[in-house]
Amino acid sequence: MATLQALLFDVDGTLADTERDGHRPAFNMAFEEAGLDWNWDEALYGKLLEVTGGKERIKFYLNEFNTSFNKPDNLDEFVKGLHAAKTRFYTQLMAEGKIPLRPGVENLINEARQANMRMAVVTTTTPQNVTALLENTLGSDSESWFEVIAAGDIVPAKKPAPDIYDWALEQMDLKPEEAIAFEDSSNGIKSSAAANVKTIITINEYTKDDDFSAADLVLDQMGDESNGFKVLSGNVDGHSFLNLELVHKVHAA
Protein backbone atom coordinates (compact mmCIF):
# COMPACT_ATOMS: atom_id res chain seq x y z
CA MET A 1 0.00 0.00 0.00
CA ALA A 2 1.40 3.37 -1.01
CA THR A 3 1.96 6.02 1.68
CA LEU A 4 -0.30 9.06 1.53
CA GLN A 5 1.77 12.02 0.38
CA ALA A 6 -0.67 14.66 -0.80
CA LEU A 7 -4.13 16.10 -0.29
CA LEU A 8 -5.80 17.33 -3.49
CA PHE A 9 -8.57 19.85 -2.88
CA ASP A 10 -11.40 20.75 -5.18
CA VAL A 11 -12.50 24.36 -4.56
CA ASP A 12 -16.10 25.13 -5.47
CA GLY A 13 -18.50 23.38 -3.14
CA THR A 14 -15.67 21.65 -1.25
CA LEU A 15 -13.58 24.41 0.33
CA ALA A 16 -16.50 26.85 0.32
CA ASP A 17 -20.09 27.07 -0.87
CA THR A 18 -19.17 29.34 -3.74
CA GLU A 19 -21.67 28.27 -6.40
CA ARG A 20 -25.02 29.66 -5.22
CA ASP A 21 -23.80 32.88 -3.61
CA GLY A 22 -20.55 33.50 -5.49
CA HIS A 23 -20.43 32.22 -9.06
CA ARG A 24 -24.19 32.49 -9.72
CA PRO A 25 -24.59 36.17 -8.73
CA ALA A 26 -21.32 37.00 -10.52
CA PHE A 27 -22.69 35.51 -13.76
CA ASN A 28 -25.91 37.54 -13.30
CA MET A 29 -23.95 40.76 -12.69
CA ALA A 30 -21.98 40.17 -15.89
CA PHE A 31 -25.19 39.56 -17.86
CA GLU A 32 -26.74 42.75 -16.49
CA GLU A 33 -23.64 44.80 -17.25
CA ALA A 34 -23.75 43.52 -20.84
CA GLY A 35 -27.39 44.58 -21.13
CA LEU A 36 -28.68 41.01 -21.31
CA ASP A 37 -31.96 40.08 -19.63
CA TRP A 38 -30.68 36.64 -18.62
CA ASN A 39 -31.17 35.67 -14.99
CA TRP A 40 -29.86 32.45 -13.50
CA ASP A 41 -31.98 31.71 -10.44
CA GLU A 42 -30.99 29.09 -7.88
CA ALA A 43 -33.02 26.30 -9.48
CA LEU A 44 -31.80 26.95 -13.01
CA TYR A 45 -28.22 27.23 -11.76
CA GLY A 46 -28.55 23.75 -10.25
CA LYS A 47 -29.29 22.43 -13.75
CA LEU A 48 -26.48 24.45 -15.32
CA LEU A 49 -23.97 22.92 -12.88
CA GLU A 50 -24.17 19.78 -15.03
CA VAL A 51 -21.49 21.48 -17.12
CA THR A 52 -18.26 22.62 -15.43
CA GLY A 53 -16.36 25.73 -16.49
CA GLY A 54 -18.00 29.13 -16.71
CA LYS A 55 -17.53 29.64 -20.45
CA GLU A 56 -18.74 26.11 -21.14
CA ARG A 57 -21.74 26.73 -18.82
CA ILE A 58 -22.78 29.89 -20.70
CA LYS A 59 -22.74 27.97 -24.00
CA PHE A 60 -24.70 25.10 -22.42
CA TYR A 61 -27.29 27.66 -21.23
CA LEU A 62 -27.65 29.07 -24.75
CA ASN A 63 -27.91 25.63 -26.33
CA GLU A 64 -30.36 24.14 -23.85
CA PHE A 65 -32.22 26.87 -21.95
CA ASN A 66 -32.19 30.02 -24.09
CA THR A 67 -32.37 28.70 -27.61
CA SER A 68 -34.15 31.79 -28.98
CA PHE A 69 -31.16 34.07 -28.23
CA ASN A 70 -29.67 35.30 -31.46
CA LYS A 71 -26.05 34.16 -31.08
CA PRO A 72 -23.39 36.52 -32.43
CA ASP A 73 -21.08 35.19 -35.17
CA ASN A 74 -18.08 35.50 -32.87
CA LEU A 75 -19.70 33.45 -30.10
CA ASP A 76 -16.40 32.40 -28.49
CA GLU A 77 -15.24 36.02 -28.15
CA PHE A 78 -18.66 37.08 -26.85
CA VAL A 79 -18.65 34.34 -24.20
CA LYS A 80 -15.03 35.10 -23.30
CA GLY A 81 -15.92 38.75 -22.68
CA LEU A 82 -18.92 37.88 -20.53
CA HIS A 83 -16.82 35.40 -18.59
CA ALA A 84 -14.02 37.91 -17.96
CA ALA A 85 -16.61 40.28 -16.49
CA LYS A 86 -17.99 37.43 -14.39
CA THR A 87 -14.50 36.73 -13.01
CA ARG A 88 -14.12 40.43 -12.13
CA PHE A 89 -17.44 40.39 -10.23
CA TYR A 90 -16.63 37.07 -8.56
CA THR A 91 -13.25 38.21 -7.25
CA GLN A 92 -14.91 41.40 -5.96
CA LEU A 93 -17.45 39.30 -4.06
CA MET A 94 -14.62 37.24 -2.56
CA ALA A 95 -12.78 40.43 -1.54
CA GLU A 96 -15.89 41.47 0.38
CA GLY A 97 -15.33 38.30 2.42
CA LYS A 98 -18.92 37.12 2.09
CA ILE A 99 -18.14 33.44 1.48
CA PRO A 100 -16.53 31.58 4.40
CA LEU A 101 -14.74 28.25 4.21
CA ARG A 102 -16.90 25.23 5.04
CA PRO A 103 -16.70 23.83 8.60
CA GLY A 104 -13.49 21.92 9.25
CA VAL A 105 -11.65 22.95 6.08
CA GLU A 106 -9.29 25.38 7.79
CA ASN A 107 -8.49 22.92 10.61
CA LEU A 108 -7.67 20.12 8.18
CA ILE A 109 -5.44 22.38 6.07
CA ASN A 110 -3.63 23.64 9.19
CA GLU A 111 -3.15 20.11 10.45
CA ALA A 112 -1.80 19.04 7.06
CA ARG A 113 0.66 21.95 7.04
CA GLN A 114 1.93 21.03 10.50
CA ALA A 115 2.44 17.47 9.34
CA ASN A 116 4.29 18.64 6.20
CA MET A 117 1.67 16.92 4.08
CA ARG A 118 1.85 18.10 0.47
CA MET A 119 -1.24 19.91 -0.84
CA ALA A 120 -2.63 20.99 -4.19
CA VAL A 121 -5.75 22.59 -5.60
CA VAL A 122 -7.49 20.71 -8.43
CA THR A 123 -10.41 22.66 -9.86
CA THR A 124 -12.16 23.71 -13.03
CA THR A 125 -12.55 27.30 -11.89
CA THR A 126 -10.41 30.21 -13.10
CA PRO A 127 -7.04 30.66 -11.28
CA GLN A 128 -7.89 34.23 -10.16
CA ASN A 129 -10.95 32.85 -8.37
CA VAL A 130 -8.81 30.39 -6.41
CA THR A 131 -6.43 33.18 -5.39
CA ALA A 132 -9.33 35.42 -4.34
CA LEU A 133 -10.95 32.72 -2.21
CA LEU A 134 -7.73 31.57 -0.51
CA GLU A 135 -6.42 35.08 0.18
CA ASN A 136 -9.70 36.25 1.65
CA THR A 137 -10.25 33.21 3.85
CA LEU A 138 -6.90 31.65 4.83
CA GLY A 139 -4.74 34.78 4.47
CA SER A 140 -2.61 36.59 1.93
CA ASP A 141 0.20 34.01 1.74
CA SER A 142 -2.04 30.92 1.80
CA GLU A 143 -1.86 30.15 -1.91
CA SER A 144 1.82 29.31 -1.38
CA TRP A 145 0.83 26.46 0.96
CA PHE A 146 -0.38 24.61 -2.14
CA GLU A 147 2.40 23.16 -4.22
CA VAL A 148 0.32 23.15 -7.40
CA ILE A 149 -2.76 25.13 -8.39
CA ALA A 150 -4.34 23.07 -11.16
CA ALA A 151 -7.14 25.30 -12.41
CA GLY A 152 -9.26 26.51 -15.29
CA ASP A 153 -8.13 26.14 -18.88
CA ILE A 154 -4.79 24.52 -17.96
CA VAL A 155 -6.24 21.35 -19.47
CA PRO A 156 -8.79 21.63 -22.30
CA ALA A 157 -11.05 18.84 -21.00
CA LYS A 158 -12.42 19.95 -17.63
CA LYS A 159 -14.00 17.71 -14.98
CA PRO A 160 -15.57 15.11 -15.27
CA ALA A 161 -12.52 14.27 -17.43
CA PRO A 162 -9.57 13.02 -15.32
CA ASP A 163 -7.13 15.37 -17.09
CA ILE A 164 -6.85 18.00 -14.35
CA TYR A 165 -6.02 15.31 -11.75
CA ASP A 166 -3.58 13.64 -14.13
CA TRP A 167 -1.92 17.02 -14.71
CA ALA A 168 -1.62 17.84 -10.98
CA LEU A 169 -0.18 14.39 -10.17
CA GLU A 170 2.33 14.72 -12.97
CA GLN A 171 3.43 18.16 -11.74
CA MET A 172 3.91 16.72 -8.24
CA ASP A 173 5.58 13.56 -9.52
CA LEU A 174 3.07 11.43 -7.62
CA LYS A 175 1.25 8.22 -8.41
CA PRO A 176 -2.56 8.36 -8.00
CA GLU A 177 -2.36 5.96 -5.03
CA GLU A 178 -0.09 8.41 -3.19
CA ALA A 179 -2.81 11.08 -3.02
CA ILE A 180 -6.37 11.54 -1.85
CA ALA A 181 -8.95 13.94 -3.29
CA PHE A 182 -11.64 16.05 -1.62
CA GLU A 183 -14.66 16.67 -3.83
CA ASP A 184 -18.31 17.66 -3.52
CA SER A 185 -19.97 16.72 -6.80
CA SER A 186 -20.63 14.02 -9.33
CA ASN A 187 -18.45 15.76 -11.93
CA GLY A 188 -15.71 16.01 -9.31
CA ILE A 189 -15.70 12.35 -8.33
CA LYS A 190 -15.98 11.21 -11.93
CA SER A 191 -12.77 13.13 -12.56
CA SER A 192 -10.84 11.95 -9.47
CA ALA A 193 -12.07 8.36 -9.81
CA ALA A 194 -11.11 8.23 -13.48
CA ALA A 195 -7.64 9.40 -12.40
CA ASN A 196 -7.63 6.53 -9.83
CA VAL A 197 -7.40 8.85 -6.84
CA LYS A 198 -9.27 7.84 -3.67
CA THR A 199 -11.90 10.43 -2.82
CA ILE A 200 -13.66 11.85 0.23
CA ILE A 201 -16.91 13.65 -0.56
CA THR A 202 -18.54 16.45 1.41
CA ILE A 203 -21.96 17.07 -0.12
CA ASN A 204 -23.81 20.39 -0.40
CA GLU A 205 -27.33 21.49 -1.33
CA TYR A 206 -26.67 21.27 -5.07
CA THR A 207 -24.93 17.89 -4.96
CA LYS A 208 -26.70 15.97 -2.16
CA ASP A 209 -28.54 13.71 -4.64
CA ASP A 210 -25.52 13.05 -6.89
CA ASP A 211 -24.17 9.53 -7.36
CA PHE A 212 -21.24 9.02 -5.00
CA SER A 213 -20.99 5.23 -5.25
CA ALA A 214 -17.34 5.58 -6.31
CA ALA A 215 -16.42 7.54 -3.16
CA ASP A 216 -14.38 6.12 -0.29
CA LEU A 217 -16.26 8.23 2.26
CA VAL A 218 -19.30 10.51 1.94
CA LEU A 219 -19.93 13.14 4.63
CA ASP A 220 -22.28 16.09 4.96
CA GLN A 221 -19.27 18.23 5.94
CA MET A 222 -15.72 17.84 7.25
CA GLY A 223 -16.80 19.24 10.59
CA ASP A 224 -14.79 19.91 13.71
CA GLU A 225 -14.75 19.07 17.42
CA SER A 226 -17.84 21.12 18.27
CA ASN A 227 -19.69 20.54 15.00
CA GLY A 228 -19.24 16.95 13.84
CA PHE A 229 -20.05 15.38 10.49
CA LYS A 230 -22.92 13.11 9.46
CA VAL A 231 -21.70 9.98 7.72
CA LEU A 232 -23.64 9.22 4.54
CA SER A 233 -21.50 6.26 3.52
CA GLY A 234 -18.17 4.72 4.47
CA ASN A 235 -16.34 3.88 7.68
CA VAL A 236 -15.11 6.60 10.05
CA ASP A 237 -13.72 4.29 12.75
CA GLY A 238 -15.29 6.21 15.64
CA HIS A 239 -14.21 9.68 14.48
CA SER A 240 -16.74 12.53 14.70
CA PHE A 241 -15.00 15.00 12.37
CA LEU A 242 -12.48 14.77 9.55
CA ASN A 243 -8.91 15.12 10.76
CA LEU A 244 -5.66 13.98 9.18
CA GLU A 245 -5.70 10.71 11.12
CA LEU A 246 -9.06 9.78 9.57
CA VAL A 247 -7.86 10.86 6.12
CA HIS A 248 -4.92 8.46 6.53
CA LYS A 249 -7.28 5.66 7.58
CA VAL A 250 -9.57 6.22 4.58
CA HIS A 251 -6.57 6.25 2.28
CA ALA A 252 -5.21 3.01 3.76
CA ALA A 253 -8.57 1.16 3.75
If binding is defined by CB under 5 A, does position 17 make contact with Mg ion?
A: no
If binding is defined by CB under 5 A, does position 216 make contact with Mg ion?
A: no
What is 94-108 written as a DSSP string? HHTT-SPBPTTHHHH
Question: What is the per-residue burial (b if ≥16 Cβ within 10 Å, else e) of 162-184?
Answer: bbbbbbbbeebebebebbbbbbb
The contact pattern for Mg ion, residues 170-199, with x = CB under 5 A and - = no contact, is --------------xx--x-----------
If binding is defined by CB under 6 A, does position 187 make contact with ligand XBP?
A: yes
CB of 86 or CB of 102, closer to ligand XBP: 86
Give least dist CB 126 to Mg ion, A.
14
Binder of residue 228, out of Mg ion, ligand XBP, none (CB less than 5 to 8 A by kind) = none
If binding is defined by CB under 6 A, does position 53 make contact with ligand XBP?
A: yes
Cα 47 to Cα 137: distance, rounded to the nearest angstrom: 28
Whether 210 sits among the annotated catalytic residues: the reply is no
Ramachandran angles phi, psi of 121, nearest 5°: -105, 135
Binder of residue 17, out of Mg ion, ligand XBP, none (CB less than 5 to 8 A by kind) = none
Residue partners of 220: CB distance under 8 A and separation at least 6: 202, 203, 229, 230, 232
Positions annotated as catalytic residues are: 10, 12
Binding site for Mg ion (CB under 5 A): 10, 12-13, 184-185, 188
